[in-house]
A and B are shown apart, each in its own frame.
Chain A
């Protein structure tokens, strides 16, 4: 039997895994989102509203929140058509900050005082969603759709020239990513049974990106490694007391310098699963 504290850490890993996957899906089309905490916040607030005020069951509330966030993701995805690279990243950053400051002024759901009243959810339920999303992404990675996404990532112009619908791919990725982040948010709200706008700021968005890049940005399982590392590493560094965050920063830089493709990549994955590398 695990302690409440350990269960809390594992729940954090599951929620972060969902957040990381939401970034991973968008990144697979070559777009960096620094605003996924915005989708997470939308999901958290909608799911909490539905369960607390309208007494919906949690699963239904999560699905509804995912649909709304997905629609918003599609709307956010449109600027993606005009912007590239770091400019797109900055636009998404602006989106995330706008969502945060919107909830800060949204008195109906507590504003800056936060919102409470949710029922605590079990660890197994969180991991059912997290594992389900991971399996879904891993299945998709073997599909033709994912190949199209990678093609847009590698060379958008060429992908368009061979007849791929790059617009649909890029906007669809934002819709899908937004939905996954919203589920992470809904679970977060029902794990901590209290949410405030500061939970969904820039640091959270950066955490998602960090988990993807640390774990390995070319394979979906990388998000799992990254999420686990990001939650557990500060715990292991606890003996450093006041300096553990600095030590975490140093380790982060060291990992990036030695393995810029992330801890896990296709080659390592092939070696681990004892399969002959395709390339």
Chain B
């Protein structure tokens, strides 16, 4: 029973990791909260759903979700972030909120506000590993998440674009003096962040077997907590905190009642902010956060 819960928690945690990474790509770098990420995530889920409903393979669904959210993320960067780059931090946060309102309205009008169920035969295949019964979809969710996190980590740590990204994150002005095109790198961060959110959306609809237009707000806020707990400036933080929160959440629901769930997650986040503001695996920067 406990082991089963842990496997369920890991699946949920894998999705949290992806969205948390999506937040931290723009937040670790630009110190802005892109409030549209929750909605990009929801949009990806619906795109994936549409592809699965058209009887196309799962891989196509995931790619469709990623590309769709990536495209919208690029539009958001161009319209809502770039012109407001020098404004106080709240302003771009609220302009991305504008996009989140538009996306939610759009999806509700296209797909309706009722939850949509995925075909159940997707979830029939289950594998028994001793005492634990793992759904094939759970394995898919975890595997895709691991591959994507690996790909992002490689991109950030090993490629020239990733090096430029880290340079801009460290100090935008110095990076520009050294010839890094900060504008292009920012766009890249938004695009990557959108693609990750889109993939996570497809995966969460696979996890729950259903999707609603309101999943973005709830899961998006949870992902912010995951990002903070892991450390917003490091990729590995989300990889640790995602499964941690996923398992903590599933276990509190199983043994403490579902009302306790959010209390535990946000309580943990505040505790981390007070004791170790840079997150579990964050660097040693003591003075984080800019002026508003």
Contact = CB atoms under 8 A, between A and B. Distances in A.
A227 to B, nearest CB: 15
A209 interface: yes
Given A85-B289, A94-B225, A97-B262, A213 B31 contact: no
Contacts of A213: 90-91, 94
A48 to B, nearest CB: 19
A148 B109 CA distance: 49
Determine the main DSSP class of A at the interface with B: helix
Interface stretch (B13-21, B96-104, B167-175): B96-104
Contacts of B95: 252-253, 256-257
Contacts of A84: 287-291
Contacts of B109: 242-243, 246
B89 A86 contact: yes
Q: What 7 A-B pairs are tightest by C-beta distance, nearest first? A: A105-B259, A84-B289, A85-B289, A249-B101, A101-B262, A249-B102, A253-B98
Given A98-B262, A104-B259, A85 B224 contact: no
A245 B277 contact: no
Nearest to A210: B94
Interface in A200-214: 202-203, 206, 209-210, 213
A31 B277 contact: no
Given A32-B89, A85-B89, A256-B95, 9 more contacts: A84-B287, A85-B31, A89-B33, A90-B33, A101-B259, A101-B260, A101-B261, A246-B109, A252-B98
Interface stretch (B53-61, B180-188, B263-271): B263-271
Interface of A: 27, 30-32, 79, 82-91, 93-95, 97-98, 100-102, 104-105, 111-112, 153, 202-203, 206, 209-210, 213, 217, 242-243, 245-246, 248-250, 252-253, 256-257, 260
A74 to B, nearest CB: 15
B83 A97 contact: no
Interface of B is mostly: helix
Contacts of A27: 292
Contacts of B269: 90-91, 94
Given A30-B291, A246-B106, A101 B89 contact: no
B289 A209 contact: no
B79 interface: yes
Contacts of B32: 86
Given A100-B262, A253-B79, A91 B91 contact: no
B82 to A, nearest CB: 10
Nearest to A88: B289
B27 interface: yes
Contacts of B273: 79, 82-83, 87, 90-91, 94
A273 B224 CA distance: 43
Contact of A256 (B84, B224, B270, B287): B84
Nearest to B109: A242
A265 to B, nearest CB: 13
Contacts of A210: 94, 97
20 contacts: A79-B273, A83-B273, A83-B277, A85-B291, A86-B33, A90-B33, A91-B269, A94-B266, A94-B267, A97-B221, A98-B266, A101-B259, A105-B263, A112-B259, A206-B97, A243-B109, A245-B101, A246-B105, A249-B98, A256-B94
A91 B101 contact: no
Contacts of B80: 253
B262 A202 contact: no
Contacts of B287: 84
Interface in B71-124: 79-80, 83-84, 87, 89-91, 94-95, 97-102, 104-106, 109
A86 B270 contact: no
A32 B35 CA distance: 15
A243 B270 CA distance: 37
Contacts of A100: 262
Contact of A260 (B35, B91, B104, B225): B91
Nearest to A206: B97
